[in-house]
């Protein structure tokens, strides 16, 4: 009977060890993705766009007059710059083929049609940021 308990305990220890290793690998993978994977972010501009220490892909203004920039950066870079930001696409580097569209509604109803065709990431009332084809 003691041998049976010992075998069960060894099995349990092995399972617990495997689960710990799995979570350790999973946690390390997520940490690496958080710090190294680029995201598409909207960065609020309070002064000039030159104050943003990252490559700016677009400098836009919302319907209410708020200036903002679209940047591709890692989460650590965004945190490190100390400027308010919003992540629009956390999977920006998926397969390296992601493209984005910046659309304006020129014809009434075009905004609604665009939402049916494309994945809208952000709509500021003037510009519509979408994932392209």
Cite the beta strand spans of 3-126 per DSSP E: 38-44, 56-61, 67-74, 85-89, 100-104, 119-123
Provide the residue range defining the domain that includes 28: 1-36
| Together in a domain, 48 and 24 | no
In total, how many domains does the chain have? 2
| Together in a domain, 92 and 123 | yes
Are the C-beta atoms of 73 and 117 separated by less than 8 Å?
Answer: no
Q: Among the listed ranges 11-15, 22-26, 78-82, which one has the minimum average pLDDT value?
A: 22-26
Per-residue pLDDT tens for 67-98? 999 999 999 999 999 889 999 999 887 756 67
1 has a pLDDT exceeding 90: no
Phi and psi at 106, nearest 5°, equal -100, -35
What confidence category does residue 12 fall into, taking pLDDT thresholds of 50, 70 and 90?
A: very low
Check residue 131 and give its pLDDT: 87
| Together in a domain, 64 and 7 | no
| Together in a domain, 32 and 46 | no
| Together in a domain, 47 and 82 | yes
| Together in a domain, 43 and 83 | yes
| Together in a domain, 18 and 47 | no
| Together in a domain, 109 and 53 | yes
26 has a pLDDT exceeding 50: no
| Together in a domain, 28 and 78 | no
């Amino acid at each position: 009977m003691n041998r049976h308990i010992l075998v069960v305990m060894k099995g349990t220890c092995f399972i617990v060890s495997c689960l710990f290793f799995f979570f350790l690998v999973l946690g390390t993978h997520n940490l690496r993705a958080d710090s190294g994977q680029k995201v598409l972010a909207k960065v609020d501009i309070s002064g000039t766009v030159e104050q943003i220490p990252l490559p700016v892909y677009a400098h836009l203004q919302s319907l209410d007059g708020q200036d903002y920039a679209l940047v591709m950066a890692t989460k650590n870079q965004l945190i490190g710059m100390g400027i308010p930001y919003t992540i629009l696409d956390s999977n920006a580097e998926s397969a390296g083929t992601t493209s984005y569209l910046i659309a304006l509604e020129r014809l009434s109803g075009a905004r609604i049609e665009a939402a049916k065709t494309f994945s809208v990431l952000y709509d500021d009332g003037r510009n519509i940021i979408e994932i392209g084809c």
